[in-house]
Amino acid sequence: MTEPGPRPRRGPLVVAAGVLVAASAAVAYLVAAWWSIVPLAAVLGGLAGIGLRWYLAPVVGFLSGFAGWAVPLLLLPAEPRTKLADVLGAAEGLSGPFFLWLGPLLIGLLGLLAGCALFCALRLVRPPTAREASTPA
């Protein structure tokens, strides 16, 4: 029987993830550069996958990308935002709400891919230990 090893220190990672989600949204809003969200989502997803559970890489990547886009949107005045979404959505044959969330969905998808990519890259650099490999995913 294998002796239990030291418990992984997850607290700092969770805090870091929260900080980065907020930073992602802030950077997107302040720098106003959509692409800045993607590397942040990659870092978050990659770290979460490596440090916690592998499946958190896509989940956190998606959520941080989504949040980075959605938070600034939600800060806009609700009525003109809804009207604009309806108008612009109609131009593309989409419903207003779907058009509104299209950006967060797309950027979330990019975050998902980036998170997975970084997770895989880190795995190549640091293969799982025997214990990690034996731990059911």
Partner 1 sequence: MSVALLVGASVVLQGSLALLAPGTGVWTDAATASWGNETIVLPALEHPVTVIRDGSGTVHIYAQDDPDLFYAQGYTQASDRLFQMEVESLSAQGNLSSWLGPSALASDEMYRYLGVPQAAAAMAAGVAAEDPSVAQDMNAYVAGVNAYIDWAEAHHALSLAFKVLGVQPYRWSLFASFCFDRLMVIGQTTGFTEPLYAAVEAAGVGDAAFNQLFPIYPQYSQNFTVLPGNGTDNGNSLADEGISASDLFSLDWFGSWATGLSDALNASLVPLYRDAIANLSDPYLADLSPSSGVGSNSWVVAANHSSTGTPLLANDPHLPIMLPSLWVSTQLVSPDFDVEGWSLAGLLGVLIGHNDQLAWGLTNSEGATALDYVETLQGDSYLQNGTWHPLSWTNESIRVAGRAPVAFDLAWTDNGPIVARVGDYGLSVRWAGTGATWEAIAELDFDRAQSIPQFFQALADDWSIPNLNAVVAQSNASDPAGHIAWVVPARFPLVAETLPDGQHVDVIGSRGPLNGSGGYEPVGTVPFDQLPQVEDPAQGYLFAPNQPTVGPEYAYPFIGSWWDSGGRAHTIGVYLQNHTTMSMASMEGLQANVTDSWSLALAPSLLQTLEALAPASPLAQAAVPYLEAFNGSFDVGSVAATIYTYWWNALVTATYDAPVSALGISGAPSAFPSAYAWLAANDPDSSWFPGGFAHASTLAALAALDLLAAHLGIGPTPSAPNLSGWTWGRVHTFVLPSLTGVSSLAAGPYPEWGDSYTPSVAPFTDNSTFPLQEVAIGSSLRFVTEPGLGPSVGVLPGGASEDPASAYYDDLLPLWLDHQYVSMTIVPTSAGPFPEGVVSTWTLQP
DSSP string, 64-126: HHHHHHHHHHHTS-HHHHHHHHHHHHHHTT--HHHHHHHHHHHHHHHHHHHHHHHHHHHHHHS
Cα–Cα distances (Å) from 21 to 33, 37, 77, 92, in that order, read 16, 9, 22, 30
102 near partner 1, judged by CB under 8 A: yes
Judged by CB under 8 A, the chain residues 65 through 94 that form the site for partner 1 are 69, 72-73, 76-77, 79-81, 83-84, 87-91
106 near partner 1, judged by CB under 8 A: yes
In the complex with partner 1, which residue's Cβ is closer, 39 or 89? 89
In the complex with partner 1, which residue's Cβ is closer, 53 or 83? 83
Q: Which residues bind partner 1 (CB under 8 A)?
A: 28-35, 69, 72-73, 76-77, 79-81, 83-84, 87-91, 102-103, 106-107
